[in-house]
Structure 1
Amino acid sequence: MKLKKFGRAAMATCLAAGMGIGSIAQAADAYTGYLLVHFTGESADGEQTYLASSTDGYHWTDLNNSQPVLRSTVGEQGVRDHSIVRSPDGSKFWILATDLRIASGKGWSVAQHSGSTKLVIWESTDLVHWSAPRVADVAGSIPSAGCAWAPEAIWDAASNAYIVYWATISPLNGIDKARIYYAKTTDFRTFTPAQMYIDRPGTQGIIDTQILEIPNSYGGFKYVRASGDGQITFEGSQSVLGNWTTIGDLSQIGLSGSQVEGPILYKFNGVIEWGLWVDQYADGKGYLPLKSANLNSAQNWQVLASGSYNLGPNRKRHGGILNLTAAEMQRVTAQWGAATPITRFQSANFPDRYVRHSNYQIRIDPSVSPAADAQFRLVKGLANNSGYVSFASVNFPGYYLRHSNYGLVLAAYDGSPQFAADATFKQVAGLSDTTASSFQSYNFPDRYIRHNNYVLRIDPVSTQTDRSDATFKVTN
């Protein structure tokens, strides 16, 4: 879902003047950037939450050193097919994703017919600090439901609620296939019972539906949706839950459903143009970008010329794009945008030993093998990115050092405020050597990272031995 939202002041001004939704769109705060949320594939770490940003919608930069920003610690502990949602007043954001981990070896047949009927959801007020993930069993009430895939959401003023929609494979009227269902919610915690939304004739299934709200004056529809139903089919409507008119499909420009899937729709900032990405799944080539200046015909889509775009080093798989204000773009890139070098942390009083993880515990050891166990990136603090840092593992992407009962462990970042606080430290001059560094706990500021019998923990520091144990040299 790529729904453009409007500030309350802009909306009030337009409504007072008797202006329509298209005028409200023009009066809203200007968007200057873009955020893509996605997964990368069926690798060990690919089915997690990745971010990329862009200033023009054509050239994209992987965030967080091309590593996962959030990991799912619930359900199947893997997520795919992300979407990102902005509240009408811009005060909240949600990431929705399919609860699925194909990398676990379960296979596609099991995933389709005996998979999770839940969605995985994160919530944020600033696009930087996210809640812990939670699951919502939106499809569990559908008889013999086999899955709940590719969730999306759009605010529907007529319902005074978000319409959340997804694909479920289940038998109905003797035909077992994928159909699009929907439920309503106001908080992404409680949902109305699932109802049928889109069903294609006969045995034809449908997946990967995305709805874009557009100004009325462009293309003749208030809403346009793209779906995978044997083709990439476009439809238009004046209401989210109303009747939809077929516009066409990409076979009209030579792209069939046997070649591409997983459409992403979004609006380019500042111009009357829209973008479309389609996943070239048949050839394993990743996304192919297209654009259009008029959505009233599928023939208006044009494939971008090679060299006119760059999607970044990570392979992007089915995701969602959110238009960002300048302030939102600054927050996101300040937290996740800087490329950070790989470092090691050498004990000041045992210089042959380095900080490393071993079975998720943190200690100092000599001759670390594999060497990557002692390699970290010192990134912006998860709880506070101004003057604080966090330790990101190199060989366990998405894992960070955090304290638990004062002991240090390596754990997957789930987005929760508690995890962020436990994994954030202030880097200060070394307590026993000012040319080195010490690390003060963010949420227990009277405690510092130190080793005790070679095991790392956070402790108060009072003696010279304590200060030496809490001092490390940052090296490459």
Structure 2
Amino acid sequence: MKKLLLLILLPTLFNCASKKDLYIFTSFREPATEGLYLAYSEDGYHWEDLKGPYLKPETGASKIMRDPSITRGKDGMYHMVWTTDWKGGNGFGYASSKDLINWSEQQYIPVMAHEPSVVNVWAPEIFYDDIEDRYIIIWASTIPFRFEKGIEDEDNNHRMYYVTTKDFKTFSDTKLFLDPKFSVIDCVIVKRTKDDYVLIIKDNTRPMRNLKVGFGTSPLGPFNNISEPYTGFKSEGPTVLKVNGKWLIYYDNYGDMNYKAVRTSDFKTFEDVSSEIKLPEGHKHGTISTISKKVLKNLIEKSKEK
């Protein structure tokens, strides 16, 4: 009887195991003209190189890809945005894919076209808002003489902006997302519950250039109670995932030209776990999403050709 029961349950157990999500980490390499690189992990700490590029940038004046940010929607489609120009652009790049190998036609989304003096559109970050079934895209831009500043130059005094979309064909009007009264870039929205959100922030002021967090009840903020820094000088490009009930925040420790990570359960106390992580050489600012075993299997096969 026990053997018969096991035979009945085996297909179910196998199907459940096969649906377990793994992690995918987007990245770019220098020079940024090469495009999208990928790495995967089974435990969220140790990352295996899937090489690249998987998508060469074709949009924007500079035709570069920096800071590729990706999320998977409820339909399983991956949506990705990225920085297309270091300076001079008024938008970001966008493409979608079901398997991270075959991509849609690239689009340029001119979200700051209404601001003729805008200096840049940096590090767009995409967040799927499952409560409202929409995508929120946030990014940093400088508009000279618009905001108060410290010792920053006027062309380096950033604030965060956003648009929302349901279909990547029509977008809301661009609005201010965050003005913490200092230059800020590289923000990441983290959902804890339906009315509890954390915002990972890079304080980009010249004395700081480190990571902080703020707290809000909506993915659009407002975000308040901004913390003291929990990373060192010259750190940026954070991304977040939850593993075994705790949050891992990866970041580009560009001052020392390496990658680091901290672990937290409450976003108030942070433990440096950099000695526990492993990333491919040359890995740069990207974001983490989930991936199925089927998609990963095809990516591993594709990486053997690179």
Q: TM-score range by the shorter chain?
A: 0.7 to 0.9
Shift of 1:319: 0.4
Aligned equivalent of 1:35:
24
Aligned equivalent of 1:463:
none
Aligned equivalent of 1:130:
103
1:99 to 49, 61, 84: 84
Query: What SS does the aligned partner of 2:227 have?
Result: strand
Separation in 1 of the partners of 2:191 and 2:83?
23
Aligned equivalent of 1:107:
none
Aligned equivalent of 2:47:
60
Aligned equivalent of 2:261:
289
Shift of 1:328: 3.2
Shift of 1:242: 3.4
Shift of 1:31: 4.0
Separation in 1 of the partners of 2:143 and 2:278?
39
Asked which structure has the greater RCO (Cα within 8 Å, sep 6+), the reply is 2
Shift of 1:259: 2.9
Separation in 2 of the partners of 1:59 and 1:173?
41
8 A Cα contact 2:188 2:200, kept in partner:
yes
8 A Cα contact 2:112 2:174, kept in partner:
yes
User: 1:107-149: CA deviations, max 9, x gaps?
Assistant: xxxx2xxx11111111112333211322111111135111111
Change in 2 beyond 3 A, CA 1:332/1:223: farther
Shift of 1:262: 1.4
Q: Name the aligned partner's letter for residue 81 of structure 2.
A: L
Aligned equivalent of 2:178:
198
1:327 to 270, 294, 302: 294
Aligned equivalent of 1:141:
114
Shift of 1:47: 5.2
Aligned equivalent of 2:137:
164
Change in 2 beyond 3 A, CA 1:329/1:249: farther
Query: What SS does the aligned partner of 2:297 have?
Result: helix
| TM-score (normalised: structure 2) | 0.82
Gapped runs of 5+ residues in structure 2?
1-17
Aligned equivalent of 2:5:
none
Change in 2 beyond 3 A, CA 1:304/1:134: same
Aligned pairs for 1:46-445 within 5 A? 48-63=35-50, 66-75=51-60, 76-87=62-73, 89-100=74-85, 111=87, 115-157=88-130, 159-171=132-144, 172-173=146-147, 176=154, 177-201=157-181, 204-215=182-193, 222-229=196-203, 230=208, 231-246=210-225, 248-251=227-230, 255-256=231-232, 258-268=233-243, 271-283=244-256, 285-292=257-264, 294-297=265-268, 299=269, 301-304=270-273, 306=275, 308-312=276-280, 314-336=281-303, 338=304, 379=305
Q: Name the aligned partner's letter for residue 60 of structure 1.
A: W
Separation in 2 of the partners of 1:267 and 1:164?
21
Shift of 1:157: 4.8
Change in 2 beyond 3 A, CA 1:159/1:140: farther
Query: What SS does the aligned partner of 1:317 have?
Result: coil
Separation in 1 of the partners of 2:114 and 2:258?
34
Taking only the aligned residue pairs, the percentage that are identical comes to 27
| TM-score (normalised: structure 1) | 0.54
Change in 2 beyond 3 A, CA 1:243/1:31: farther
8 A Cα contact 1:34 1:329, kept in partner:
no
Separation in 1 of the partners of 2:241 and 2:39?
15
User: 1:11-64: CA deviations, max 9, x gaps?
Assistant: xxxxxxxxxxxxxxxxxx9643111111123x3x5652111111111111111x
Separation in 2 of the partners of 1:234 and 1:199?
14
Change in 2 beyond 3 A, CA 1:120/1:156: same
RMSD of Structure 2 on Structure 1 (CA): 2.4
8 A Cα contact 1:80 1:318, kept in partner:
yes
Separation in 1 of the partners of 2:301 and 2:295?
10
8 A Cα contact 2:262 2:274, kept in partner:
no
Separation in 2 of the partners of 1:163 and 1:39?
22
Aligned equivalent of 1:452:
none
Separation in 2 of the partners of 1:322 and 1:222?
20
